[in-house]
Structure 1
């Protein structure tokens, strides 16, 4: 069985029911010890006067008083071991649980403020900042960038839960795993689905299998020929003008040149996914001996449709 399938679920509506800290427990004791009739008087309700509280006549018993205390305790949920960091944590963006020697983090809101992800990891003793960035559909759920130090060679991975599901479909979630013992500080960029019109932050070749130009050879061809194929597929193109180094070993990019008009006889060196329905063509005005993107011929890849 996939260990991720056993990950405990903590939902927003359940968070209000977790009274975990000393203050919350004291509040619970206070409310359950109050005469039910007194609860109708706002002056006797903890916190009254800091906001509006509407009441109506009701019969308040022990269970109802406990429910009221639970409703007042709202916010992140965690399991307090009494010593050391929590063993699990959840907020509106992410939930984390220790499983089989790893911290398993399930993304609940891929569009949340990334500070909420870091808050959750630090609550369980892991100093890891995570940001979810828009990527091409084939890279959703992948780690697209990682930086860190003093990590004791602990593995960090990404994927989907349940295993093998398609992220974006109902019941399929993005999951990050971090081996216990991770130390130091880490920064992680994790691929999420792009909103309509959002530019991808991880650019892969558009010609590989599943890409917008799958099955098309674009490198070392004139711009006019590649644009004809782009339009035939109902796509749009933007340009990035590059300046090959002498001999074609690498290239530079001058921001001041990006508004120049690109001629049909310019040379295309690569096509990348820019955003949904749009490819970015890396072009230069002159042909050079080597493909500057690769320092030689473009490596072979699966370009089938």
Structure 2
């Protein structure tokens, strides 16, 4: 029975509001499999998380905002809402319960007049899965989602090809203060080629592929301007906000424009913080230099300090 129960649990998929209700046979099969399991049996350990491949070099874009439609994961208690099917037929009866999962789509496609509305259901899906779902509808659209710093989660960080209309609404805002975008629209009968890359929320410890400035609204150092302070003065202030700097971006004093990233023990504490970029959740890359940095322009200062109450 342990093997049968394992097969049953593996078949459970995350439910969405578009999935049909489970039939009574599926409910009874799940109940019987769970209650019949030996309570003293030691369950086998299984890995259920698989990391994504990281994409290309860092890019910085601060334009369009959208909000990803991310379905909540469900546990065993959500099995009644999962899309399960029980194979039928008149063949010989087998021991145990046979249940197979219907793979939940990573995207949704809804036709509205001259356009097809596309929404992302699984922001962690393999890009090949997105492409296959577009291809099944005769479209050559290459979609990727890359880990991004908070203020640009849901923004277009790269695009090539036609600009698709965006779906907005709901009256909400993103971490950067822009309007939430619910998805995008592809013209019916589209036969061109398009490439889009959106920012998604990074997992703990995952490096960002696309970033805004670390002092921008929604970012780790917003309203905590340590720029112009020495490293020794800046780090304790950052620590109060639970932000660390694993590396320091050092510009060569003798060769402007040439820089390298070094650990803390290779930078004097008397050097100054000139700027900062998001690095990973709770981490930033500090730009440091031997002399005090020049003041920012008034417009730049106002943009970064928006909402800071000063």
TM-score by length of structure 1 reads 0.57
Can you list the C-alpha shifts for 1:141-171, whole angstroms capped at 9, x where unaligned?
222222x24x3xx435376xx6345789xxx
Residue of structure 2 equivalent to 1:157: 166
Structure 2, unpaired ranges of 5+? 1-15, 23-87
Within the candidate set 239, 259, 277, 2:247 is matched to 239
CA 1:12–1:134: 2 relative to 1, 3 Å:
farther
Residues of 2 paired with 1:167 and 1:209: CA distance? 10
Using CA pairs below 8 Å that are at least 6 residues apart, which structure has the higher relative contact order?
A: 2
Q: Distance in 2 between matches of 1:220 and 1:55?
A: 69
Contact 1:118 1:129 in 2 (8 A): yes
CA apart distance, 1:191: 1.9
Pair 1:204-2:217 in alignment: no
Whole-Å separation in 2 of the counterparts to 1:115 and 1:12 = 26
Would the aligned equivalents of 2:246 and 2:263 in 1 still touch at CA under 8 Å? Answer: no
Q: Distance in 1 between matches of 2:298 and 2:258?
A: 18
Matched, 1:41 2:100: no
Could you list the structure 1 runs, at least 4 aligned residues long, displaced by more than 4 angstroms after superposition: 52-56, 165-168, 244-248, 257-260, 288-291
Paired position in structure 1 for 2:233: 225
Q: Is residue 239–residue 283 contact of structure 1 (8 Å, CA) maintained in 2?
A: no
Aligned-pair distance for 1:230? 0.8
1:287 to 288, 291, 296: 291
Where does residue 282 of structure 2 map in the other structure?
277
**CA distance in 2 between partners of 1:226 and 1:100 (Å):** 55
SS in 1 for 2:222: coil
Per-residue deviation, 1:174: 7.5
Tell me, in whole angstroms, the C-alpha distance in 1 between the residues paired with 2:115 and 2:253: 46
> What is the CA-CA distance between 1:9 and the residue it aligns to?
6.4
Asked if the contact 2:138–2:191 (Cα under 8 Å) also holds between the matched residues in 1, the reply is: no
Q: Show structure 1 runs of 5+ residues with no match.
A: 1-7, 15-37, 43-51, 57-70, 77-90
Number of aligned positions between the proteins: 220
CA contact (8 A) 1:239 1:282 kept: no
The corresponding residue for 2:144 is 131
Q: Is the 8 A contact 1:107 1:174 kept in 2?
A: no
> Which TM-score applies when normalising by structure 2?
0.56
Give how far 1:131 is off: 1.3
CA pair 228-55 structure 1, distance change in 2 beyond 3 A: closer
Shift of 1:177: 0.7
